[in-house]
Amino acid sequence: MKKLFISGLLCLIFNPNFSQNKTPFEGIDASWQNGNDRRDSAIFHNPYFTPSVMIDANYTHSFNKPIDNTVVGSTALARNNEMQLSAVHFGGDFNFKGARARIMTQFGTRTTVVPRNDFSQYKGQYDLPTVYRYLSEAYAGYHINKWYGINIDAGMFMSYIGLNSYYQCENWEYQASFTSDNTPWFFNGLRIQIHPTKHLKIEPWIINGWQSYGKFNKMPGIGGSITYMKNNLKLITNNYYGTDAAGLPDRKRFHSDNSVLLKYYDKPLSRGISKMAFSLTGDIGFENGGGVKAFNGDSATPTQHFLSAMFYNRIWFLNNKLACTFGGGYMSNPGRYLVLLPTGQANALPNPNNPTQTIGTYPFTANPGDKFTGWDYSANLDYMPNQSITFRVEFVSRHSSVPYFAGPGGVTSPSGYTTTVLPADWRPDLVKKENRLIFAVLFRM
């Protein structure tokens, strides 16, 4: 009887013809959610392939007016006071008799802006950023027709730690708050998506590391995501554990990211206010061991943790043709192990032997215990004549406890060019505050 029960259970799970085709979250409107596709349907679709094209173009003006036009501390923006093509993605989803794959290419400034944060490239041979930089997602897997679906995928996929999507056309705001911009956009490894009910997704991961193409130590990163969603509510928790300091296998990293999204007003046919919703995200994380302590450290074992939160409220008008979003966030990261390092000639380079430290003539330090606190607020207005195009204007004010953002003198050289020989008395011009305007055109179909 026991063998018969086990055999039946295995057949129940792995027989793809066991249950009827059920779609997770079917009939639930997710188009209002921050970090989600706002379209109600794909323009082109057939049973085997659904194509996708996304374009993100922007112009941003920094009131600091850095001489070299360099944006510091952002994974969305690269250069000030210039029209920039931040991202071009094309690809789509393939499905055939349970086999599945998703491929999304990546071109534009994000091909260099995002890989710069991955220091795993210094371990071993081959140029990993060059190999992967033109792919934002690429994975293959198999769909098991059990419950509301089980997907087993291997490759590179989005992380969604910090709530915001990697694709700007899915976000309520353009410049992400510190909580999202200093946490991963992608993972490289294996995931299993389990949908036991229409409203619930459980997703374990085994990955190379924390937004890293390669692996720093012997231990892989492990973690997972749990999502619960109804029409007006979405709850998400993402959790991660791994070793992400080169040559320091005893230094373990833990991170917990938690979000709630609530649509609290909905009158879709109103020409006045048609919808209102908010998103609230809170993160707690730390590194422990290998010379650092999560909390209550001292001079011998400095404190190394990450505490952050962000809140955004969005209001839609005129049958969802217009929307405005306002909000902001806060981050404290002693040890600076997740702070985006300022770019610039001889300013801050990763230490290939220890990615928690920086080297260079004028490094922005990321030594154990180094303090960093950041806070920001923003407001924007979106015009969305249809579900495929968004015109956005946004004001952002960001602040830090230490000089961090690019000031008028820039972070490259006195002339702003990398070809200029640096005078002995020159230093990168870092300041504690920046205000900027962003104008963006976001396309998706």
- Could you tell me the two tokens for 144? 């098991």
Neighbouring CB atoms inside 10 A of 40's CB total 9
- The number of helix segments (H) and strand segments (E) in the chain equals 4, 20
Task: Please tell me the distance from the alpha carbon of residue 211 to that of residue 108, in angstroms, as a whole number.
Answer: 19
Name 314's Cβ contacts closer than 8 Å, sequence gap at least 6: 32, 34, 172, 275, 276, 277, 278, 323, 324, 325
Q: What angle do CA 261, 280, 439 make, to 5 degrees?
A: 90
Rounded (5°) CA angle 190-192-196: 175
**Over 80: is that where the pLDDT of 354 sits?**
no
Instruction: Give the per-residue pLDDT at 95.
Output: 92
312 three-state secondary structure: strand
pLDDT in tens, 394-421: 999 999 999 999 999 998 889 989 888 8
Q: What amino acid is encoded at 380 in this protein?
A: N
Amino acid identity for residue 314 in this structure: R
Mean pLDDT of 322-342: 94
Number of CB atoms found within 10 A of residue 5's CB:
9
Evaluate if residue 276 carries a pLDDT over 60.
yes
Q: Do 210 and 337 meet the contact criterion of CB atoms below 8 Å apart?
A: no
Tokens of 281: 């995200």
Query: Please, are residues 380 and 324 in contact by the beta-carbon 8 Å criterion?
Result: yes
Give the pLDDT score at 12: 43
The share of the chain scoring above pLDDT 70, in percent, equals 91
Contact 160, 37 (CB under 8 A): no
pLDDT of residue 346: 42
282 pLDDT higher than 50: yes
Evaluate whether 343 touches 116 at the Cβ level (below 8 Å).
Answer: yes
Res. 425: pLDDT tops 90: no
- What is residue 278's predicted lDDT score, i.e. its pLDDT? 97
Closest-CA residue to 436 (of 381, 391, 397, 379): 397
Whole-number pLDDT of residue 14? 45
What is the average pLDDT value for the chain, to the nearest integer? 89
Mean pLDDT of 235-245: 95
* Residue 97 or 360, more confident: 97
Domain layout of the chain by residue ranges: 146-385+393-437
Question: Which residues, in sequence order, are bridge partners of residue 307?
Answer: 284, 332
pLDDT at residue 5 is higher than 70: no
Q: How far apart are CA 67 and CA 279, in angstroms?
A: 36
Give the pairing type, strands 349-351 and 354-359. antiparallel
The first and second tokens of residue 114, run together, are 């995002």
How far is 164 from 8, CA to CA, in rounded Å?
41
Instruction: Give the number of C-alpha atoms closer than 13 A to the C-alpha of residue 113, restricted to the C-beta side.
Output: 24
pLDDT of residue 23: 86
Model confidence at 350, pLDDT cuts 50, 70, 90, reads low
**pLDDT average, residue stretch 264-280:** 90
Q: Is the dihedral of CA 166, 171, 176, 177 positive or negative?
A: negative
Fold entry, domain 146-385+393-437: Porin (2.40.160)
pLDDT at 353: 61
Question: Residues 411, 430: contact at Cβ < 8 Å?
Answer: yes
Cα 163 from Cα 158, distance rounded (Å): 11
Residue pLDDT, tens place only, 30-56: 999 999 999 887 777 788 999 999 999
Q: What whole-number percentage of the chain has pLDDT above 90?
A: 68
Q: C-alpha distances in angstroms, 170 versus 105, 178, 203? A: 17, 18, 21
Residue 400: CB atoms within 10 Å: 22
What pLDDT was estimated at residue 18?
43
Which tokens belong to 141? Answer: 């897997």
Which pLDDT does position 74 carry in this prediction?
Answer: 93
Please name the helix (run of DSSP H) or strand (run of DSSP E) that holds residue 180, with its range, or none. helix 178-181
Confirm if 49 and 92 have CB atoms less than 8 A apart. Answer: yes
Averaged over 11-40, what is the pLDDT?
Answer: 74
**Contact call for residues 208 and 220 (beta carbons, < 8 A):** yes
Q: Which residue has the higher pLDDT, 352 or 346?
A: 352
DSSP state of 159: -
Residue 427 has pLDDT above 90, yes or no: no
Which pLDDT band holds residue 6 (cuts at 50, 70, 90)?
A: very low
Q: Which residue has the higher pLDDT, 295 or 345?
A: 295
**Residue range 356-376: mean pLDDT, rounded:** 79
Pick from 8-22, 49-63, 424-438: least confident: 8-22
Q: Count Cβ atoms within 10 A of the Cβ of residue 442 and give its class: 0-12 exposed, 13-18 middle, 19 or more buried.
A: buried
From 24-33, 278-287, 342-351, the region with the lowest mean pLDDT: 342-351
By the 10 Å C-beta count (0-12 exposed, 13-18 middle, 19+ buried), 408 is classed as exposed
Q: Which run of H or E residues covers position 238?
A: strand 233-242
Instruction: Give the per-residue pLDDT at 348.
Output: 52
- Confidence class for position 1, pLDDT limits 50, 70, 90: very low
Do the Cβ atoms of 365 and 336 come closer than 8 Å? yes
